[in-house]
Amino acid sequence: MVSPTYYLDPLSTLSMKIITCIEELRDQLRGQLRTAFVPTMGNLHEGHLSLIRLAKRHGDPVVASIFVNRLQFGPNEDFDKYPRTFEADVAKLEKEGVYVLFAPTEKDLYPEPQEFRIQPPDSLGNMLEGEFRPGFFVGVSTVVLKLFSCVQPRVAVFGKKDYQQLMVIRNMSKQLALPTEIIAAETFRSDDGLALSSRNMYLSEQERAEAPALFKELNQIASAIRSGHLNIAELEKAAMAELTRRNWKPDYISIRKQANLQAPSADDLAQQSPLVVVAAAKLGTTRLIDNLEI
């Protein structure tokens, strides 16, 4: 069994415990009934830290995890290149007062091949992100369920930036009767509107200046719908065309119902059902996702 490492905060008498072993994590958290959990893949930014702060309002102690989950990466995606900044992440989590950082290796979390997988329903898992990243939500659901089993939190916090992921996790928790409440955190944005993401670091200076255009398109769609423009297909097509004109490569810009991410019917639009516009597009080699509730 690996012993935890302690990182002392000179401004505090407390310390954050870094644990890699599942059994040791369970021992450390035994008897805790109000644990709040924030799972991450590391390379932490202010968006992640806002999740930690929200978690502190809903539970105690706060546990964070850092694990780059191979199961959710496709064969042509950036698993090996995904930025790993562990020491900087530790310093940020320590400053936020996190009690335990669970940082397992692949061998710790997957000591044998993970042949049991969680399969989201096709109606949610195989559209939008699921269409363009086959198997992504199987990998996400499987690792989240396993992390929940390890941490056994009362609440867990996920960001709305990954809107479909949030819905997958929320529905999984409900249907499997997990004793974990899923808390949604608002998307954390830069002053120019760009949603914070670990992948933003891949953007060149010129691309970073262009990146807020994605959110601007979502806002234009939202404004049009609020003004009574209900030709959904026309709005989606126009936004895709504008991004393409600006040298983006959009995968989708789609207006959906907040309740289930299905396309709204004429009745839904007439009844002003809550909507969300979701989008994914490549800028250079960097794929960005975003959404806006309407």
Write out the catalytic residue numbers. 48
Cα separation of 250 and 17, whole Å? Answer: 42
- Do 273 and 264 meet the contact criterion of CB atoms below 8 Å apart? yes
Q: In Å, what is the CA distance from 254 to each residue of 116, 143, 224, 262?
A: 32, 27, 14, 10
* DSSP result, 135-183: THHHHHHHHHHHHHHHH--SEEEEETTSHHHHHHHHHHHHHTT-S-EEE
Cα separation of 97 and 99, whole Å? Answer: 6
Cis bond upstream, residue 61 (ω within 30): yes
**Residue 38 token pair:** 């924030």
**Residue 151 token pair:** 């941490």
Q: Extract the runs of DSSP E, i.e. beta strands, from the chain.
A: 5-8, 15-19, 36-40, 62-66, 100-102, 155-159, 181-185, 248-257, 275-283, 286-293
Q: In Å, what is the CA distance from 193 to each residue of 26, 209, 238?
A: 40, 11, 20
**Residue 268 token pair:** 């839904």
Which residues, at least 6 apart from 123, have a Cβ–Cβ distance to it below 8 Å? 260, 262
